[in-house]
Structure 1
Amino acid sequence: MNQGRDTIERIESDLGWRKKEVSNLLLLEKQDNQILIIKSTLLLLYSHWEGFIKNACKVYLEHISNKKININDLTENFKAITLKGLILEVYKSSETLTLSNELNFLQNFNGTKSKVFSVKKNFSKSEKDKSIINTKDNLSLNVFKSILRIIGIDYSDSIDTKSAFIDEKLLGNRNKVAHGNKIESIDEDFDLSLDELKKVKDVVFYLMDNFSDDLIYFVENELYFESNKNTTDEYLQEKAKKIRSHLP
Structure 2
Amino acid sequence: MSSEDFIAMLEADLGWRKKEVANLLLMETEQNQLLIIKSTVLLLYSHWEGFVKNATKAYLEHISDMRVDIGALTDNFKAISLKGLIGQVDKSHESLTMVNELNLINKLQNNLNRKFSLPRGFSRHERDKTIVNTKDNLSLKVFKSILNIVGIDYAGSLDTKSVFIDEKLLENRNKVAHGNRIEQIDAEFNLDLIELKKLKDLVFFLMSALVDDLIYYAEQELYFSENEDKMKSYLQQRAKEIEGYLP
- C-alpha distance in structure 2 between counterparts of 1:85 and 1:13, whole Å: 33
Are 2:69 and 1:52 aligned? no
User: Where do 5+ consecutive residues of structure 2 fail to align?
Assistant: none
Post-superposition CA distance 1:142-197 (Å, at most 9, x none): 11111111110111111110000000000000000111101111111111111111
| Number of residues of Structure 1 aligned to a counterpart in Structure 2 | 246
CA distance in structure 2 between the partners assigned to 1:176 and 1:17 by the alignment: 26
Matches of 1:125 and 1:98, distance apart in 2: 41
- Deviation readout 1:16-40 (Å, 9 max, x if unpaired): 1111111111110011111111111
Partner of 1:158: 157
Mean CA deviation greater in 58-67 or 78-87: 78-87
Q: Which residue of 1 aligns with 2:32?
A: 33
CA shift for structure 1 position 92? 5.5
Partner of 1:207: 206
Mapped to 2, the partners of 1:90 and 1:23 lie a distance apart of 49
**In structure 2, what is the Cα distance between the partners aligned to 1:72 and 1:198?**
45
In structure 1, runs of 5+ residues without a counterpart are none
1:63-102 equivalences under 5 Å are 63-91=62-90, 97=95, 99=97, 100-102=99-101
- Measured in 2, the distance between the counterparts of 1:177 and 1:90 equals 43
Match of 1:105 in 2: 104
Q: CA deviation at 1:229?
A: 1.0
Q: Indicate the residue corresponding to 1:13 in structure 2.
A: 12
- SS of 2:31 mapped into structure 1: helix
Task: State the identity as a percent.
Answer: 61
Deviations 1:182-238 (A, max 9, x none): 111111111111111111101101100000100011111111001111111111111
Query: Match of 1:186?
Result: 185
Q: Give, in whole Å, the separation in 1 of the partners of 2:181 and 2:228.
A: 51
Asked whether the equivalents of residues 173 and 190 of structure 1 are also in contact (C-alpha less than 8 Å), the reply is yes
Offset of residue 91 of structure 1:
4.2
Shift of 1:96: 5.6
1:175 aligns with 2:186: no
What TM-score, normalized by structure 1, do the two folds share?
0.94
Whether contact under 8 Å (1:49, 1:208) holds in the other structure is yes
CA distance, structure 2, for counterparts of residue 134 and residue 146 of structure 1: 9
Instruction: Tell me the equivalent position of 2:236.
Output: 237
RMSD over aligned CA atoms reads: 1.6
Equivalents in 2 of 1:142, 1:68: separation in Å? 31
1:137 aligns with 2:136: yes
**CA distance, structure 2, for counterparts of residue 38 and residue 200 of structure 1:** 11
Distance 1:80 1:61 in 2: 13
Counterpart AA for 2:134: T
Structure 1 distance, partners of 2:100, 2:119, is 21
Cα deviation, residue 90, structure 1: 3.6
Question: Which residue type is aligned with residue 190 of structure 1?
Answer: F
Cα distance in 2, alignment partners of residues 123 and 158 from structure 1: 30
Give the structure 2 partner of residue 22 of structure 1. 21
Contact 1:159 1:247 survives alignment (8 Å): no
Structure 1 residue 102, shift from structure 2 partner: 2.8
What TM-score does the superposition give when structure 2 sets the normalisation length? 0.95
Q: Is the 8 A contact 1:22 1:44 kept in 2?
A: yes
**Partner Cα separation in structure 2 for residue 131 and residue 60 of structure 1:** 15
